[in-house]
Amino acid sequence: MDRPRVTIFDTTLRDGEQSPGCSMNVQEKLRLAHQLDRLGVDVIEAGFPIASDGDFEAVQGISAAVRRPIIAGLARACTGDVDRAWQALQGAAHPRIHVFLATSDIHLKYKLRITREQCLEQARDAVRHAKSLCADVEFSPEDATRTDVAFLCQVVGAVIAAGATTVNIPDTVGYSMPEEYGQLIRTLREKVAGIDKVTISTHCHNDLGLAVANSLAGVQQGARQVECTINGIGERAGNAALEEIVMAMRVRPDRYAYEAGVASEHLFASSQMLAEITRVPVQPNKAITGRNAFAHEAGIHQDGMLKNPLTYEIMTPQSVGVPDSRLVLGKHSGRHALALRCEQLGHQFERRELDEVYRRFVVLADRIKKVQDSHLLELIQDVVKGNASNSDAPSSESKKFPPAAVALPLPRSAVAAAGANANESHPAQVSAGAGQAQAQPGPAPTNWFGGGVPAPIADHHGDQEDYLWGV
Ligand code: KIV
Ligand code: ZN
């Protein structure tokens, strides 16, 4: 039976970027937008065009370059904002104007200093104006969960009549409880005329750590769009984490029988890319993408894992793109292994670029024996920035990269391939020392998930993992 489709609306580049220390420049936003496209999100909220020239350029640039998903631009409920958003979205293949206006009494009284009647009129007028420009219009009553429910129903009904195609219900301050949030969605569905013709969306903040639970509760009550961010970044305690929403639906279809169009095997690379760009590391115990999410420390757990990974893992690392085995990247490594590791770190290269990365990698590996992720990332950044010509300056590089001897994770399929080829003196070196996964020649055994059974991991917390995960 077909499962209902839930639209994944990624707001990493807008709400996510609003979190302290997470601002990104236009190039960085563009790079992340391409990764979100690879990940398969349905909507990318690319920015708030009236907020700054940089935001405008980012929305404009992403609109021109990323053609598959819907590109949304945020606007307050006034003509100037809506016009500016529409201007930035001109080149988009699938543009969306996202209009918002606070509706709670607390915001009306202290922030906006307008009456409910004025609020209703302003929301209706702004949506009508947006609709005159763009067929796809989303409206968000900011602080919806602290808004008088009867008034919220009135506003939602008015914006639907004015042409909104998506109605988003933000828990702006992360105040709601899951049952309560689900009930609010249910009430709107029961009370608002025309709501069955539009998409209801969730937008939950994490101030009480309930953003994902609230979003899922909303979906269970009929919401069909979830607004979320990579690594859960966002204002204050953040937004609902995209990777957690997607994997909850995938791991528990018995409870959440909904389909998201996200390619989950790109989740880890997306998380790493964001951490690298913002330099905000992923917390170690972060669900799905934290460095401990697939690490097993206790002897009893390790024993269980070796007998059958189902004892302690509810999803395979591979299903979210986490490499679970390690490959030493040294001077004998091949282009294939290097390209794969670059990809795992969120960088895909054209052949010529890869040649340059490889050339510099070999020079470096000759000097420092084993190349860590942090080294590789620096090297990649140099190549991307066009500093390749400095690559032959041995003294500066030896200063930049201290000697080290480490192993790097690699997906099981690649380890198996590398292991098989190692017997035929393939350049890839599969680590076999203490603390490193043993590569098994031949096909890797599969578990109930259809993935590979992890090889023994004696030391899951080597220093190198800090480099690997914490970039
Ligand atoms: O949290 C919020 O209310 C928002 C709106 C602008 C959608 O981010
Ligand atoms: Zn928000």
In this predicted model, what pLDDT tens digit does every residue of 45-55 receive, in sequence order? 999 999 999 99
- Residue 441 pLDDT exceeds 60: no
Predicted confidence at residue 405, as pLDDT, reads 31
Ligand 1 pocket, mutate which of 14, 78, 172, 235 (most atoms under 8 A from CB)? 172
pLDDT tens column, 381-423: 888 887 545 444 333 333 343 333 333 343 333 333 332 232 2
For 248, the token pair is 């909850």
Predicted confidence at residue 331, as pLDDT, reads 77
CA 69 remoteness from chain centre = 15
- In the structure, what pLDDT confidence band is assigned to residue 328 with cuts at 50, 70 and 90? low
- Residue 261 pLDDT exceeds 90: yes
- Residue 42 pLDDT exceeds 60: yes
State the distance from the centre of ligand 2 to the C-alpha of 204, rounded, in angstroms.
7
State the distance from the centre of ligand 1 to the C-alpha of 140, rounded, in angstroms.
7
- In the structure, what pLDDT confidence band is assigned to residue 425 with cuts at 50, 70 and 90? very low
pLDDT tens column, 108-167: 999 999 999 999 999 999 999 999 999 999 999 999 999 999 999 999 999 999 999 999
- Residue 301 pLDDT exceeds 90: no
- In the structure, what pLDDT confidence band is assigned to residue 374 with cuts at 50, 70 and 90? confident
Nearest residue CA, atom 7 of ligand 1?
140
Task: Please name the residues in contact with 360: beta carbons below 8 A apart, sequence gap of 6 or more.
Answer: 379, 382, 383, 388, 391
Q: Is 170 in the pocket of ligand 1 (CB under 6 A)?
A: yes
Nearest residue CA, atom 8 of ligand 1?
15
pLDDT tens column, 201-242: 999 999 999 999 999 999 999 999 999 999 999 999 999 999
- Which chain residues have CB less than 5 Å from ligand 2, an ion? 15
Residue length, the chain?
Answer: 471
Ligand 1 atom at minimal distance to the Cα of residue 205 = 1
Residue type, 393: A
Q: Judge whether 52 and 273 are in contact, CB under 8 Å.
A: no
Ligand nearest, relative to CA of residue 141: 1
State the distance from the centre of ligand 1 to the C-alpha of 125, rounded, in angstroms.
19
Predicted confidence at residue 416, as pLDDT, reads 30
Predicted confidence at residue 386, as pLDDT, reads 77
Query: What does the buried/exposed string (b/e) look like for 422-458 if buried means 16 or more CB atoms within 10 Å of the residue's CB?
Result: beeebbbbbbeeeebbbbbeeebeeeebebbbbbebe
d(CA 119, CA 106): 13
User: Percent of the chain having pLDDT more than 90?
Assistant: 63
> Which range (65-69, 281-285, 344-348) has the least confidence?
344-348
Q: Is 176 in the pocket of ligand 1 (CB under 6 A)?
A: no
Nearest residue CA, atom 5 of ligand 1?
142
Predicted confidence at residue 345, as pLDDT, reads 85
- Residue 378 pLDDT exceeds 70: yes
Ligand nearest, relative to CA of residue 172: 1
Ligand 1 atom at minimal distance to the Cα of residue 143 = 3
Among positive and negative, which fits the CA dihedral 385, 389, 395, 401?
positive
Mean pLDDT score, 423-448: 28
Predicted confidence at residue 317, as pLDDT, reads 92
Ligand 1 pocket, mutate which of 138, 140, 228 (most atoms under 8 A from CB)? 140
- Residue 379 pLDDT exceeds 60: yes
- In the structure, what pLDDT confidence band is assigned to residue 450 with cuts at 50, 70 and 90? very low
For the whole model, what pTM was predicted? 0.74
d(CA 159, CA 139): 7
Q: Is 347 in the pocket of ligand 1 (CB under 6 A)?
A: no
Query: What does the buried/exposed string (b/e) look like for 16-35 if buried means 16 or more CB atoms within 10 Å of the residue's CB?
Result: bbbbeebebebebbbbbbeb
- Residue 462 pLDDT exceeds 50: no
* Averaged pLDDT of the chain: 83
Q: Is 140 in the pocket of ligand 1 (CB under 6 A)?
A: yes
State the distance from the centre of ligand 1 to the C-alpha of 168, rounded, in angstroms.
9
State the distance from the centre of ligand 2 to the C-alpha of 205, rounded, in angstroms.
6
Q: Is 138 in the pocket of ligand 1 (CB under 6 A)?
A: no
Q: Is 100 in the pocket of ligand 1 (CB under 6 A)?
A: yes
Predicted confidence at residue 438, as pLDDT, reads 30
- Residue 372 pLDDT exceeds 90: no
